[in-house]
Structure 1
């Protein structure tokens, strides 16, 4: 036995501990989902604090109360700016670090907007929008590299469920906090939550970002480059299905934005609901949208064809909106039921859409493609309510406006189904030859 090499003292114990550590190590996709869901929820919570605290916030900033519309517009402009020009920043810093930079931008924007700076305070809203912008491209880049293919749509949908979850938390927490502790305490609470989230996701950075992002020395200049907008949009030519998928997402965005902007007003003016009851209807719609996102992701994974699923969901969503305005007045419970159905179907599309964009895009262009598609979607969410307002002003009918909005979504869904059928027939013919 003189030639036998004995293990060093503690070797067996060290190996056992290492084995237990590997056993307890969570899968990479779980870390990715937890990190992106946390950031998505907090970003939604922080950005929705602005409209919820609008009146006292505008008063503190020395602006008229109706200036909340300018704040909303500047926030939207900030998101579009990030989506159009933020690709090099994401490539340079990596997705998790970019999400942290976004959270820091939101905290800074909240601080600026809360000060008595007059119109200069609107730059705070721009910073809040820019800070919220990285959630889609950075989150998609993280998840497409880690999510198991058989559960991809479900995982993306759970991440996107952070949007209504953050909105619901903001609605439940902020108003009572202002009443109990005042506006200053509420604002600092939102800022503190935002900053703490930067620290909370730091442990995920090494696993999800690697050692460092790709070196892009000119990334800061790209933020002010008009050519970046055209370059971002050009990535939608990377796959034949991307233009159709982008158009379908923009159509869904129009419907979702109109539902969120006008459902409460519709319930009050056309159904005689109180403001509190209208708030409950919108909250129900938001809650059902969170469940819808998750279930629709699961269904899309089971069917195995997300684009076809989205096309049929577009048609079903249009029918749900039509029910909301045509059948909800027959009984008090009907309005609640139709609002729940609309939230479940018509606002539960985002996760499946993001997952399909990330799946068909070339891996090195995932963040660019999702940014460009989201940019078009955001343009739809801005233009949709504006056109809706003009339709109501012209016709005096919310019903007509809702039906026309639903019709355009049904049209895009049917066009998508026809296009998919033609592609399948062409592929069958090519295989026969």
Structure 2
């Protein structure tokens, strides 16, 4: 497709950013209410960890059939359908019964999986223009921004209405917004079904697609440890800072917020850089190296460390462990044909979500066995190995000769920008 104008890119960014931001907010709202929900159901607040695992297990499952949904509905209509089903899931969570909570959690998780493949499929239409990695990276800031919204919206509603009514209110407003925007935006309302991707429709086809292309397989496998490090950062940072560095809870919480804001800045910044280098995979390796260095420095924290030095390390880890996503997804988009973007993104994210599901629990078990410092060293080493694996694009263009209509490619797998710049 020809280079998109600024107005067209802004509209595309809106219709891809909004669904992912809103469903991210929906998925992160129950942990904000964990104490109230758990108390009502007679459970421990630690059930929030099980909730997160179930959400991403649902996302893995729905990622497996996301490409089929995109073909039948179109990517944008798939995204807005996820907004409406996700809002319905959160509203159902208000029913004070464990079985209803499990059902609602499953709906939220299933709504999460197709979003990134669908939005990546839309952004792939602009793959031949400049700034595609930046566009993808800005879109990916929707995930942490959804967390910010959950933190701002849910607590006052819980205090004012109670957690049950808050779930209904947030879920209901989300469904209404999804319906309204679907109806109001012609780009969504009139979207035609997409072209078939030309591959099988089984639940395992996205993974088979990845494994048939060694270059994609290496990149997807590296995302397992990147995603694990990202969730380890958000899950364990506060408890580690309060125990190892003897920080008070308020300061540790502030540094967690700083790490998430650094992740937003990192996604945008790394995307900007990725559009200006000839080897985005080597950029990912550089991000992994910085991530490993930050994890290694984390292992050295003691009460004697200055707060400023601790903050610098935490911000570096946030900018890398939460900032790699856009560069990764842009490289997946570049590496396949337009009709295969949804399938390739679905398959690669099944690896990514696996890291999200397994990473915190494995890290927690390792920290219990050998202590947090050694666990951070192991994580840093794993991330660096993942970066090395993902940097190499074996087999040229992964055996896919149809993938790049944009013209010649550099040896590193990046399309040559017009004019050789």
Classify the TM-score, shorter chain: 0.7 to 0.9
Shift of 1:64: 4.6
2:202 aligned counterpart, secondary structure: helix
Distance in 2 (alpha carbons) for counterparts of 1:174 and 1:392: 32
What is the aligned partner in structure 2 of residue 407 from structure 1?
A: 381
The one of 56, 59, 75 equivalent to 1:95 is 75
Q: How does 1:379-394 map to 2 (within 5 A)?
A: 379-394=354-369
Shift of 1:45: 1.2
1:103 aligned counterpart, secondary structure: helix
The one of 20, 33, 54 equivalent to 1:74 is 54
Confirm or deny: 8 A CA contact 1:61 1:114 kept in the other structure.
no
What is the aligned partner in structure 1 of residue 324 from structure 2?
A: 349
What is the aligned partner in structure 1 of residue 245 from structure 2?
A: 271
Shift of 1:250: 1.6
Shift of 1:127: 0.3
* Runs of 4+ off more than 6 Å: 421-424
Shift of 1:336: 1.7
Q: What TM-score do you get using the length of structure 1 for normalisation? A: 0.83
Shift of 1:55: 1.7
> Does residue 244 of structure 2 align to residue 244 of structure 1?
no
The one of 306, 315, 325 equivalent to 1:331 is 306
What is the aligned partner in structure 1 of residue 236 from structure 2?
A: 262
Distance 1:157 1:83, change over 3 A: same
Equivalenced residues, count: 392
Larger CA Rg, structure 1 vs 2 = 1
Distance in 2 (alpha carbons) for counterparts of 1:146 and 1:200: 26
Shift of 1:68: 3.0
Question: Structure 1 residues 102-111 or 135-144, which shifts more?
Answer: 102-111
What per-residue deviation string (whole Å, max 9, x for no partner) do you get for residues 273-304 of structure 1?
23222221111100110011000000010113
Confirm or deny: 8 A CA contact 2:214 2:394 kept in the other structure.
no
Distance in 2 (alpha carbons) for counterparts of 1:209 and 1:281: 42
What is the aligned partner in structure 1 of residue 418 from structure 2?
A: none
Shift of 1:169: 2.2
Distance in 1 (alpha carbons) for counterparts of 2:128 and 2:183: 22
Question: Structure 1 residues 373-382 or 29-38, which shifts more?
Answer: 29-38
CA RMSD in angstroms comes to 2.7
> Does residue 22 of structure 2 align to residue 42 of structure 1?
yes
Distance 1:211 1:260, change over 3 A: closer
What is the aligned partner in structure 2 of residue 17 from structure 1?
A: none
Q: How does 1:151-162 map to 2 (within 5 A)?
A: 151-162=131-142
Shift of 1:133: 1.3
What is the aligned partner in structure 2 of residue 22 from structure 1?
A: none
Question: Structure 1 residues 149-158 or 384-393, which shifts more?
Answer: 384-393
Confirm or deny: 8 A CA contact 1:293 1:350 kept in the other structure.
yes
What is the aligned partner in structure 2 of residue 316 from structure 1?
A: 290
Shift of 1:209: 7.4
The one of 350, 359, 362 equivalent to 1:375 is 350
Q: What TM-score do you get using the length of structure 2 for normalisation? A: 0.85
Distance in 1 (alpha carbons) for counterparts of 2:188 and 2:99: 39
What per-residue deviation string (whole Å, max 9, x for no partner) do you get for residues 332-380 of structure 1?
2222221111111221000111111011112111001101100011111
Distance in 2 (alpha carbons) for counterparts of 1:243 and 1:76: 20
> Does residue 115 of structure 2 align to residue 140 of structure 1?
no
Higher helix proportion: 1
What is the aligned partner in structure 1 of residue 403 from structure 2?
A: none
What is the aligned partner in structure 1 of residue 273 from structure 2?
A: 299
Distance 1:123 1:163, change over 3 A: same
Distance in 1 (alpha carbons) for counterparts of 2:341 and 2:171: 31
The one of 312, 328, 334 equivalent to 1:359 is 334
Distance in 2 (alpha carbons) for counterparts of 1:389 and 1:340: 22
